[in-house]
Homo-oligomer: A and B are copies of this chain.
Amino acid sequence: MTNVLVNGMPEPYIDTADRGFNFGDGLFTTILIRDGRPCLWPRHWQRLQAGCAKLAMPAPTEAELLNDLSQLTSRGRSEVAKIIVTRGSGGRGYQPLASAVPNRAVVMRPLPEDVVTLRKNGIVLARCTTPLARNPVLAGLKHLNRLEQVLASIELAKLAAHEGLMSDTAGNLIECTRSNLFIVQDGRLLTPPLLECGVAGIMRAQVSESAAGLGLTCDQSVLTDDMLATADEIFVTNAVIGIWPVIRLLQSKSRSLQVGPVTAALIGRLEQDGVVL
């Protein structure tokens, strides 16, 4: 059985004229498949549609994507689905064809091994030096221009850490290489605004909603190193891992933390809602 569909066909190849390959001209999303079921699908689909609209590119239909997923998943199997949608093929250089039809690739991958263990035990978070560029036009989108994350991940591979913290070129903490950042301070959740850069993560949105359900406020706020140094709790989120608590922060001043009560309550809520492993 194949683990890749390109435009619905079981082929692991894309046209070299594809605009994703040429320019990163497209979007993607990474979905947790739990027991054959895509978790938080409405959020993934809504973000994909909104992203296509913002990039002025056509979107595949929801039926096409759900059909692809149903062909690749099977009951009892938990894994990760990655959907890539591009503005299609061709055009005159950067300028797309008016008639461009989107290309889509859906790829299934095994779960990372450490997802549940690290959610229980916590992670080490280190600082990467590769900055995130600020561009309000692209901020929040999970687009295919991800060289900054690649370079930060190469840094991270040399550090004794599970995730890498990234700042923008103005020095504001924004997110991690593959996850969003939250702190808990005095019982209140804070996460950086993503108006200039960063990816508006599916799990970031879900955690904000779960927090409200638990009677917690969650605000968007500029986060500084000093705030990280004194935060009661720190955690990171993405759609595959859910929440990973930070138990050690490697900064100019390193510190150790516990898995705190707010983080634990949020993890409990995600488990209860069946949106994590």
Contact = CB atoms under 8 A, between A and B. Distances in A.
Contact of A150 (B84, B96, B135): B96
A164 B92 CA distance: 15
A148 B153 contact: no
Interface in A202-227: none
A177 B146 contact: no
Interface in A111-156: 112, 130-138, 143-154, 156
Contacts of A16: 4, 6, 12-14, 84, 105, 107
Contacts of A154: 56, 95-96
Copies of this chain in the oligomer: 2
Interface string A1-26: 00010100000111111111111110
A169 B92 CA distance: 26
Given A131-B135, A138-B133, A147 B55 contact: yes
Contacts of A132: 135
Q: Which of A14, A56, A150 has the most CB of B within 10 A?
A: A150
B24 A151 contact: no
Contacts of A55: 147, 150-151
A134 B137 contact: no
A24 B137 CA distance: 18
29 contacts: A14-B14, A16-B107, A17-B107, A18-B21, A19-B150, A21-B21, A21-B105, A22-B84, A22-B144, A23-B145, A23-B147, A23-B149, A23-B150, A24-B145, A25-B146, A55-B147, A55-B150, A87-B150, A93-B153, A93-B178, A94-B146, A95-B150, A95-B153, A95-B157, A131-B136, A133-B134, A134-B169, A135-B148, A136-B169
